[in-house]
Amino acid sequence: MELPYCCVPAVLQMVFERRQMAVPEQEEIGYELSLIVPEEIAHRFRCVRTGPRSPSGWGTRVGLKKFSIQRYFDRHRLPLRIVRYLATEIVDLEIFLADHLEGGDDIVVCFDQWHLLGRGNTEHVALMQALHRGSVILVDPAEDSPDLYRVELASLAEALCGRTTGQLGLWVTSSVCYSGDFG
């Protein structure tokens, strides 16, 4: 279950778990991704930053290069690569999703909560579990969401182009083989 404003760390935990990798605490991942929470809930964390709410909401600041998920992977020498795809870059969403899921990739969906769930006004992430007949099944770590829910592709496409700013899109995580030193 997700700690408040830790949807990105919680989804990364799911990716690590599925890939049978070590799974750090959400707080640890969040701190390295510059998690920012409202001051009134900071007491729920051992070590966290507080500050003003960003346009995309409270949570991590993975849109900044120094706090990017790829930087996190590289710092920890994790054999993973993450690529963000905007909805406008994808010609056929169903084929795109099928190809990546069949290839063993993890697809993190960063969407506008209002467009997809009818609540909230921020970006949120969930992990795609399956594609089935014009819909997808998402695994959502948020404590106020069902664990799994089915979303029609048309609704998903709309939520990927929502009204928030920032990191909306599909974050495709795949395995890589590194050679040499990270430097």
Q: What residues contact residue 35 under an 8 Å CB cut-off, 6+ apart?
A: 5, 6, 9, 27, 48, 49, 59, 60, 61
Instruction: Answer whether residue 157 is part of any domain.
Output: yes
Reduced to 3 states (helix: H, G, I; strand: E, B; else coil), residue 85 is strand
d(C-alpha 53, C-alpha 76), whole Å: 28
Sign of CA dihedral 155, 158, 163, 164: positive
User: pLDDT per residue over 137-172, tens digit each?
Assistant: 999 988 776 689 899 999 999 889 866 556 789 999
Contact criterion met (CB below 8 Å) for 149 and 140: yes
> Residues of 148-181 as b/e, b for ≥16 C-beta within 10 angstroms?
eeebeeebbbebbebebebbbbbbbbeeeeeeee
**Dihedral, 14, 15, 21, 23 alpha carbons, nearest 10:** -40
Binned at pLDDT 50, 70 and 90, residue 118 comes out as: confident
Instruction: Answer whether residue 171 is part of any domain.
Output: yes
Instruction: Answer whether residue 79 is part of any domain.
Output: yes
Output 79 or 88, whichever has higher pLDDT: 79
Instruction: Answer whether residue 29 is part of any domain.
Output: yes
Binned at pLDDT 50, 70 and 90, residue 32 comes out as: very high
This prediction has a pTM of 0.90
Mean pLDDT over 114-119 rounds to 79
Percent of the chain with pLDDT over 90: 62
Domain that holds residue 108: 7-175
d(C-alpha 13, C-alpha 31), whole Å: 14
User: pLDDT per residue over 39-73, tens digit each?
Assistant: 999 999 998 999 888 776 789 999 889 999 999 99
Among the ranges given (54-68, 74-88, 97-111), the one the predictor scored with the smallest mean pLDDT? 54-68
Q: What is the CATH number of the domain that holds 90?
A: 3.90.70.30
Instruction: Answer whether residue 180 is part of any domain.
Output: no
Instruction: Answer whether residue 43 is part of any domain.
Output: yes
Instruction: Answer whether residue 77 is part of any domain.
Output: yes
Residue 135 forms beta bridges with which residues?
Answer: 132, 152
pLDDT, averaged across the chain: 89
Mean pLDDT over 93-110 rounds to 96
